[in-house]
Amino acid sequence: MGKETKTKPFVLRIDPETMSAIEKWASDEFRSVNGQILYLLDQALKKSGRAAKSGDKNS
């Protein structure tokens, strides 16, 4: 529940093959494509040590 509820929309340009792979992956994990992309970004940020700390105002 600690997640911020505000989101910032933006346009993402992605090649058709990558989009197709993400759509399939999202479907396999019962997520929306948007949810899958957010999940992947979150995992990449955590892995790189760049995930926002709870309490950071710049997230």
In this structure, what is the dihedral angle of CA atoms 23, 38, 7, 27, given to the nearest 10 degrees?
Answer: 30
Quote the domain boundaries for residue 28.
16-45
Q: Is residue 41 domain-resident?
A: yes
Q: Is residue 40 domain-resident?
A: yes
Residue 55: per-residue pLDDT: 56
Number of domains in the chain: 1
Q: How far apart are CA 47 and CA 33, in angstroms?
A: 21
Q: Is residue 33 domain-resident?
A: yes
Q: Is residue 53 domain-resident?
A: no
Q: Is residue 27 domain-resident?
A: yes
Q: Indicate whether this model's pTM tops 0.85.
A: no
Q: Is residue 9 domain-resident?
A: no
Q: Is residue 26 domain-resident?
A: yes
Tell which wins on pLDDT, 44 or 56. Answer: 44
Average pLDDT over every residue of 40-51: 94
The fraction of the chain above a pLDDT of 70, given in percent, is 83
Q: Is residue 28 domain-resident?
A: yes
